[in-house]
Structures are given as C-alpha cells and as structure tokens.
Amino acid sequence: MLAEVLGQVDLAERSGFSDVWITEHHFTGYNVYSDPITLAAALSQRNPSLRIGFAVNVVPLLNPVRFVTRCNLLDQLTSGKLVVGIGPGNAPDEFAGFGVDIDLRHERMAEFISVCERAWSAGPAGFAYDGPHYRGEVRGRIIPAPVQTPQPHIAFASSDPGRLEAAGRRGWSLLLGPVAPKVIAPRLADYLRGLDAAPESVRERALGDMSVLRQIYVAEEGEDWRRTIADPIDVYVRKSAVANAGEAGEGLSPSRFSDWRDRYLSGGWLVAGSAREVAERLAPLAGLGIANLLCWMNFGHMEDELIRASLGRFVERVLPLIRELEPDPELLPSLLEDAGAGDTDFARMWRGGA
C-alpha cells in the first residue's frame, strides 16, 4: 500500500501537480502511514519539484523544539518549499495513544506555537521555556536553520472564529476542510477580518497558499461512480468514524453507519461524477477566491488502478474547465447574507486594503 502511495505521488508530479500534502493520523487505519515528517523527507528527495505541505500536523501530540528542528531540516531538503500545516486534532483514540488529554488540545497548541516561534527566532545563546505543558532549555543553536526566514510558512486549520481571525493577523495561510461553500463562507470571513490588518506582502503570501480540501473521483462518461467506489466510500465512512470521533467504526450499528454515510455524501466532502460535473462542483470554491485545491484522490483504501484513472481524467478533462476560473467578489457576501452575517467589505479585502 505505501509503495502505491509513493507511485501515485510520482504520477502526480509527472502530471504537473505542484504540491503534495500529507496528513497525520495514528492507530486507526485511516491512512497507511503515521509519521508525515518522515514520509515528507523521503518525498523531498524522490519528488524534488513538488512543494510539501502538511494537512495537518497534530501539534498537541508533539514536542515543539523537536518539531522545529525537523521542520528546519525539511525546509532545507525541499529548498524552502515547505508549508507547515498545523491543527489541534480531534481524534480521541490518537490522544489516548499518546497519553494526552484531548480536552487540553487547544491550550497545548497555543503554548506549542509560542515555543516554536521562540525557537525559530532564537540565536546561538538559545532560550528557556517553562509553561504548563512544555518545559526545557535550549543551550545553543538549533541546527539547521530553515531556508525560509524567519521560519517555514505556516498554514492553519480551525473552525473557531477567534482562532481563524488570529491566524489571519499572524499572516498564516488558511486550510479549509471538505465542507460546503455555505460552511466555508463564515470561516473565510473570520479569517479575512484578521488578515486585513496584516501588511500587504504578508497578505499576498497568505492568500496565495490558502487551500481547500476535496475528495475527488472523476468518473468515465456513463460510469455509475456510486457503484464503482461504493466499497471505498463505506471503508472511509467507518475509518472516519474512528479517526474523527472515536466511534467503533467496525461496530457501528446499521442506523449509525447510515447516518454517518448520509452526512458524508451530503456534506461536501466528496466531489464525484463526470469531468463536467466535478468542474461544476469545484467552481464555487474558485469563486470564493481560494487559490489552491488539495485533491484527495486516495481515500477509503481505493484500488490503485481507480486512483490513477481518476487522476488522469482530472488532469485531462477537469483542469481545462477550471484552470481559468476567477474569484467572484459577490459570492462570499451573498453566502454570508444568506447566513445572516455582517456587511464587511470583503471585496476590498481581496484587493489587499483600501
């Protein structure tokens, strides 16, 4: 299975994809690896043209100084093409496996980020840190330094309004999960409010690396994709129940499984169908001004042959339909108005200031 994943990355590179994004999950069988940083190191040498991003590192489970040293090395190995995606995580089984209280994940994450930023800015004299969750003293220089200065670019995933606004103020890029545009809109609005206060050069980088995730299956014309990928859908639903909610995926009752499956199929996670149908489903994401699409084509332990065929059809038939799509400055305000949100001038924010 891991050899197939590596082969799929090779195919993506040959097909002109710009990035490879790696997730982090443990113990649940959600994916075929657990350590994204080790995998990223291998890909940095195997696929040198690709930028590497994390979606996301579950940082409450990690040591911040160790994390900085590993990210710095990866930034060197990729010649500065690393995007460090971070998030608090939400899988009970993963936190239990590492002996970390899941209820403290946001508190731990805030402290983690503080220590990382001190590590990235520290000189040869080092620094000491002493908080509720992380304590230590770096007596010297962190080796190597990153290529990007003062640190690798950060991307952030959250649904909390205050944290989204704070990420914007810091100039971090936004990672948006596979939810419907009407759900994305208020999250994007909170983020843009924070980003509006950042310098123009920071805004440009942050928006340039803003990304949205979608599971994608591009079917052949006339193919019944619901039948073709029925098994991967079922596997994914069960694995997701374990990885994201701590439920006993294999032991889900029929009614509970049906509920999870219905929410999955109606919630915007999966974009499947003919090339034109897929393009039409993706168009609103471009309309919201999101620069990058993270194509999650390997899900539910899908067969390698299906993944490669879908990827090929995406490149040949979908990309020509979506490549020239432009942001629609009226779409975000319209979605927010439907949700009863405020009247912030988001069109001005997209232009980078008044």
The per-residue pLDDT for range 3-61, each reduced to its tens digit, is: 999 999 999 999 999 999 999 999 988 889 999 999 999 999 999 999 999 999 999 99
Q: Can you give the pLDDT at residue 352?
A: 41
Please name which of 231, 328, 218 lies closest in space to residue 281, comparing C-alpha atoms.
218
Helix/strand/coil (H, E, C) string of the chain?
CHHHHHHHHHHHHHCCCCEEEECCCCCCCCCCCCCHHHHHHHHHHHCCCCEEEECCEEHHHCCHHHHHHHHHHHHHHCCCCEEEEEECCCCHHHHHHCCCCHHHHHHHHHHHHHHHHHHHHCCCCCEEEECCCCEEEECCCCCCCCCCCCCCEEEECCCCHHHHHHHHHHCCEEEECCCCHHHHHHHHHHHHHHHCCCCHHHHHHHHHCCEEEEEEEECCCCCCHHHHCHHHHHHHHHHHHHHHHCCCHHHCCHHHHHHHHHHHHHCCCEEEECHHHHHHHHHHHHHCCCCEEEEECCCCCCCHHHHHHHHHHHHHHHHHHHCCCCCCCCHHHHHHHHCCCCCCCHHHHHHCCC
| Average pLDDT of the residues in 184-195 | 96
Spatial contact of 273 and 225, defined as CB atoms under 8 Å apart: yes
Q: What is the pLDDT of residue 250?
A: 58
pLDDT of 354: 27
CB atoms within 10 A of CB 264: 18
* Gap between the Cα atoms of 140 and 201, Å rounded: 32
pTM for the whole structure: 0.92
User: Average pLDDT in the 62-87 region?
Assistant: 98
Query: How far apart are the C-alpha atoms of 26 and 89, rounded to whole Å?
Result: 11
pLDDT band of residue 205 (cuts 50, 70, 90) is very high
- pLDDT, tens digit, 9 for 90 and up, residues 47-68: 999 999 999 999 999 999 999 9
Whether the CB-CB separation of 39 and 33 falls below 8 Å is answered with yes
Show Cβ contacts of residue 287 under 8 Å, excluding neighbours closer than 6 positions.
325, 327, 328, 331
pLDDT for the residue 249: 54
Cα(116)–Cα(150) distance, integer angstroms: 11
Tokens 């208020």 found at: 186
For residue 207, pLDDT over 80 is answered with yes
Name the band, by pLDDT with cuts 50, 70 and 90, for residue 285.
very high
* Under 8 Å between Cβ of 71 and 38: no
122-161 burial code (b ≥16 CB/10 A, e <16):
beeeebebeeebbeeebeeebeeebbbeebbbbbbbbeee
Query: Tokens for 33?
Result: 């690896």
For 338, the token pair is 């439907």
**Size of the chain, expressed as the number of residues it contains:** 354
Give dist(CA 2, CA 17) in Å, integer.
20
Beta-carbon contacts of 54 under 8 Å, excluding residues fewer than 6 positions away, are 21, 22, 23, 24, 36, 40, 83, 84, 85, 86, 155
pLDDT tens digits, 232-250 = 999 999 888 877 666 655 5
Give residue 217's pLDDT band: very low, low, confident or very high (50, 70, 90): very high
